[in-house]
């Protein structure tokens, strides 16, 4: 490890590596690996939590979308039924026979204002 450090320092920086004031501890690499491993594991846990949260939000949004689609379908069906009823009323015999009377009443209301 130390030889690699010295080699890369010389190659990359164009100058020799600074001299260490003390010799590296024997367990330094093991400690470094355990810290990196712990941090990596923690990062993976956080990533999984985020993924799970996103999946929960997606599931809730999908359920809301399905509920709203059902509600929209019901409203569209109700509208179609009402349009059919209105068409039936407007084409009925009684509506056609009372048209002159409605016209006279509307004219009187405009005149009285």
Q: Each residue of 77-107: pLDDT tens digit?
A: 999 999 999 999 999 999 999 999 999 999 9
Backbone angles phi, psi at 26, to 5 degrees: -65, -30
Residue 11 in any domain: the answer is no
Residue 108 within a domain: yes
Residue 22 within any structural domain of the chain: no
13, containing H or E segment: helix 2-13
- With 0-12 / 13-18 / 19 or more C-beta atoms within 10 angstroms meaning exposed / middle / buried, residue 80 is exposed
Domain of 32? 28-112
Higher pLDDT, residue 15 or 93: 93
Task: Output phi, psi for 24, to 5 deg.
Answer: -65, 145
The verdict on residue 10 lying in a domain is: no
Tell me, yes or no, whether 68 lies in a domain: yes
| The pLDDT of residue 26 | 67
Looking at residue 82, its pLDDT comes to 97
The reply to whether the predicted model has a pTM over 0.75 is no
Count structural domains, the chain. 1
């Amino acid at each position: 490890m130390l030889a690699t450090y010295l080699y890369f320092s010389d190659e990359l920086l164009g100058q020799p590596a600074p001299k260490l004031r003390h010799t590296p501890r024997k367990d330094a690499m093991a400690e470094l690996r355990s810290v990196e491993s712990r941090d990596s594991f923690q990062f993976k846990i956080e990533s999984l939590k985020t993924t799970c949260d996103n999946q929960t939000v997606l599931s809730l949004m999908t359920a809301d979308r399905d509920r709203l689609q059902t509600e929209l379908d019901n409203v569209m069906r109700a509208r179609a039924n009402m349009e059919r009823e209105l068409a039936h009323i407007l084409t009925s015999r009684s509506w056609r026979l009372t048209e002159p009377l409605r016209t006279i009443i509307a004219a009187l209301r405009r005149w009285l204002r």
